[in-house]
Structure formats: C-alpha cells, structure tokens
Amino acid sequence: MQNLTILGSTGSIGTSTLDVVARHPDKYQVIALTAHRQVDLLFRQCVQFKPCFAVLLDELEVAPLRLRLRDAGLKTEVLCGAAALEAVCTLPEVDTVMAAIVGAAGLRPTLAAARAGKKILLANKETLVMAGNVFMDTVQLNGATLLPIDSEHNAIFQALPRGYDGNLKGAGVRRILLTASGGPFRNTPTAELQQVTPEQACAHPNWVMGRKISVDSASMMNKGLEVIEAHWLFNAAADDIQVVIHPQSVIHSLVEYVDGSVIAQLGNPDMRTPIAYGLAYPERIESGVAALDLFKIATLEFSAPDFERFPCLALAYQALRVAGTAPAVLNAANEIAVAAFLDKQIFFLAIARVIESVLNELPVTQVTCLEDVLHADKLARRAASKQVQLLTL
Ligand code: NAD
Ligand code: MG
C-alpha cells in the first residue's frame, strides 16, 4: 500500500490523481488532501477517500468543514495554513507526495517533501523554475525520488534510458524535442491577439487545465517554463532543448540520440497517463485513459515555434541562459501578469511586456539558498505590480 499526500487535490491535476487512485483501492491510500478554495469539493473528496488530514488556507473555513466532516461520521482532522501544508508532506506514514498546487505557493511544501526524502510526483513546474538548483540539491541530499508529471517531461523521462544519471552526452542523447500544441492562439493573427479575452485564452484545444496554466499555454510561457523545467530535470542546456509545435498533442515529447534514433512517447492528451505512470513507477497500472486510435488521428503535424508571435517563449529561454535569479523573476512577473489578465486589468499582449520590463529592471544575483529565491520573487512581484498599474486598461 502506498500512502499519499495530494497537494492541490481540488485542482485539475488533483482531481485527475484521485480519479486514478479510485481505480486502485488495493494500491493507494490517501493520507492528506489540501485545497485553497473549493471547500465543497474538498469535503466530497474527504467523504470518498477518508484521509487522515484535510488542509485549508482560510481560517474561517476550518470550523464549518470540521463540523460537516464530523456530521458525516469522518475522523479527518482539519488543519490550516502554510505550515500545515508542509507538515502533511513530511509525515512519516506518507510515502508519496503529489505536488499539484499551482504557482509559487507550491514551492515550500514541495521542498519540504524533498527534505523528508519522499517520492515526489512533480506537477508544480514553478518549483523547478524558481528554485531549480536548491530543489534538485535537496532531492539528492535527502534521497528523495523525483518523477515528472508534466506530460512532456514524463514523456522524456520514459524515452531516456532507465536509470538516466543526468549525463545527456554519456547517454548518447543529441537533444530533447519538447512538443507544444501552440495553444488556442496558434493561428490567431497578431493583430487580433490584443483583444482576446480570458475565456478565449482558457479554451485550450486539447487539454482541460487550471486557469493559470491555460493562459500560460496561450502565451506559450508554459512551454518556456517547461524548457527551464527540462533543464533542471535532465541536466540539459538551453541549446539541447528544441521546442517543436505539434498541434495534435499526441506525441508528448521526444529524445533524439546520436545514432539517429528518435524515441517518442505517444498517448491521448489526458494527464491521467503521466499520473498513473508516476504513481506506479516502475510498474504500469490502468489509468482510465482511452486507447490511442492512430487511424482516427491519421495525421501528425510539426513546425518550428514563432518567437516573435510568442515573446514569452523567448523570454524564458533568455532567463534560463542568464540563470541565477532570472527564472524566479520571470516566474513571479508572469504570475502577476497572468492574474491581472484574468482579472481583465491588462490586455493579453501586455503579459509579455510586464515580464520583459521586470526582467530588464531587476538585477540578477546568484541563487545559493531558498531565501535568495524568495527575495527575488518578492522584488519581482512588486515590480510587476507597478508595471501592471502602468498598463491597466
Ligand atoms: P488548478 O488551478 O486546477 O489547481 C490548483 C490547486 O492548487 C487547487 O487545488 C487549489 O486549491 C490549489 N491552490 C491554489 N492556490 C493555492 C495556494 N496559494 N496555496 C495552496 N493551494 C493552492 O491547477 P492545475 O491545472 O491542476 O495545475 C497544478 C500544477 O500542475 C501547476 O503548477 C501546473 O503548471 C501543473 N501542470 C498542470 C497540468 C494540467 O493539465 N492541468 C499539466 C502539467 C502541469
Ligand atoms: Mg506540459
């Protein structure tokens, strides 16, 4: 029996994780679930999975949830706040932590899981973008196991040799081909991008996801964050990672070897596949995902990314090359800009402008510890909020 903590259980990845878990009651047991809002959904998840702990962020929600759980005859203990998030990641009885909180809020609890030497199923890519070296060092130092859940990175992990040790050249790899759907605006004329709404940005052609990552996909910042994520996971330089536009989202990424072999992982665009892979690794379990029908798909297309139409992708490559605090600054500025766009404060195209000016404004320093990252994150949020004010509609 594998004991799980699911951070962000009410989100898109969290609910997909519970969907897979529910298919295998003999293999997985839920110890803790955590959520920000959506208390009703958290309550229903507690009724179904009977965890020992449920964690919320809003103190005011705690007492009513406790009461409801007690009335339902459950023993689930309700905890609250950021410290509780870390606590449920480090419990001795927990084997595996699904890191599926969105954004910078996921960093501390995911890091706590690494410090406690847990098996980490990493969906929260922002952890690696912000604090890649600190996180990877912590994983290694404490013997934690890191399995990528982001579909592209999960595909690369599957296409690399088993036991890959972080030496691309040694493994005979020429480069990593990171696929991208191109998002909902792949073919939208640049002139029309100015007027797109949050609803349009969140209507992804292939994937159903949370709102932040949906906007990131529309701006292609998601792919930029994933380039940085791949850098840390696989010890790949920016030049070793080629983004490939592949609108069907059937090939989740590829690894090109020096002998000319290219190994890809294919599947329907459904996150339950990488989640099931992470849960069961190194074995395979049913995920509920329909079999891939190649005859129905029939055609797979590929093209090069357009860095001018999607400046966020170029900014992410730039931040990775600059290194130090630059990726943390990029991430924080992006979070502020995306929230402002979702709030209808700024235009879609202003997202890249906010990030670019913050990257230009703030000095880059080295990252040697978590505090360096948190400091850069704070400065970048402040600078980005100022930029948002200047650009507010
Ligand atoms: P989501 O918005 O659907 O869910 C986010 C979860 O985090 C929710 O449970 C929410 O309650 C919780 N949360 C939000 N803010 C929080 C805070 N401040 N403190 C604590 N908890 C908080 O997001 P998602 O689409 O499930 O994405 C989660 C993570 O997985 C992101 O980092 C995203 O980039 C990554 N990811 C998602 C997908 C996908 O298909 N959805 C694919 C690859 C990677
Ligand atoms: Mg992805």
From 328, 333, 325, select the one nearest 357 (Cα to Cα): 333
For residues 13 and 31, state if they share a domain.
yes
Q: 172 CA distance to ligand 1 centroid (A)?
A: 35
Share of the chain above pLDDT 70, in %: 100
Predicted local confidence at residue 13, as pLDDT: 98
| Span 73-97, average pLDDT | 98
Share of the chain above pLDDT 90, in %: 97
For residues 118 and 195, state if they share a domain.
no
Angle in degrees, 0-180, between the axes of helices 221-234 and 326-342, rounded to the nearest 10: 150
Q: 294 CA distance to ligand 1 centroid (A)?
A: 31
8 A C-beta contact, residue 120 and residue 21: no
For residues 50 and 143, state if they share a domain.
yes
Which pTM value belongs to this model?
A: 0.98
Two tokens at 112? Answer: 């706590």
Residues 114-170 pLDDT 10s = 999 999 999 999 999 999 999 999 999 999 999 999 999 999 999 999 999 999 999
For residues 328 and 377, state if they share a domain.
yes
Is 88 inside a domain boundary? yes
Q: Is the pLDDT of residue 338 over 90?
A: yes
Gap between the Cα atoms of 193 and 176, Å rounded: 30
8 A C-beta contact, residue 233 and residue 135: no
Is 236 inside a domain boundary? yes
Which strands sit side by side in the sheet containing 173-180, from one edge to the other? 241-245, 173-180, 251-257, 262-266
Nearest CA to ligand 1 atom 2: 210
For residues 133 and 196, state if they share a domain.
no
Q: 74 CA distance to ligand 2 centroid (A)?
A: 36
Is 316 inside a domain boundary? no
Q: 12 CA distance to ligand 2 centroid (A)?
A: 13
Predicted local confidence at residue 269, as pLDDT: 97
Question: In the listed set 148, 178, 213, which residue is the last one of a domain according to the structure?
Answer: 148
Is 284 inside a domain boundary? no
Is 367 inside a domain boundary? yes
8 A C-beta contact, residue 10 and residue 100: no
Q: How many residues can be counted in the chain?
A: 393
Between the CA of residue 167 and those of 132, 162, 163, 233, what are the distances in Å? 17, 13, 11, 11
For residues 106 and 32, state if they share a domain.
yes
For residues 167 and 143, state if they share a domain.
no
For residues 138 and 28, state if they share a domain.
yes
What's the total number of domains in the chain? Answer: 3
From 181, 164, 168, select the one nearest 238 (Cα to Cα): 168
Q: Domain of 206? A: 156-267+292-297
Two tokens at 228? Answer: 């940085």
Residues 162-221 pLDDT 10s = 999 999 999 999 999 999 999 999 999 988 998 999 999 999 888 889 999 999 999 999
Q: 102 CA distance to ligand 1 centroid (A)?
A: 3
| Span 229-247, average pLDDT | 98
Nearest CA to ligand 1 atom 25: 210
- Hey, which residues does 264 pair with through a beta bridge? 254
Give the ligand whose atoms come closest to the C-alpha of residue 125: 1
CATH number at residue 342: 1.10.1740.10
For residues 86 and 27, state if they share a domain.
yes
Nearest ligand 1 atom, CA 214: 25
8 A C-beta contact, residue 39 and residue 63: no
For residues 161 and 144, state if they share a domain.
no
For residues 11 and 119, state if they share a domain.
yes
Ligand 1 neighbours (beta carbon < 6 A): 8-14, 35-38, 57, 100-102, 105, 123-126, 150, 207, 209-210, 212-213, 271
Question: In the listed set 148, 165, 183, which residue is the last one of a domain according to the structure?
Answer: 148
| SS3 state of residue 206 | coil
HSE-CB of 207 using CA atoms within 13 angstroms: 31
CATH number at residue 13: 3.40.50.720
| Span 259-284, average pLDDT | 98
Burial 317-349 (b: 16+ CB within 10 A, else e): bbbbeebbbbbbbbbbbbbbbbbbbbeeebbbb
Is 256 inside a domain boundary? yes
8 A C-beta contact, residue 387 and residue 335: no
For residues 222 and 104, state if they share a domain.
no
Nearest ligand 1 atom, CA 216: 34
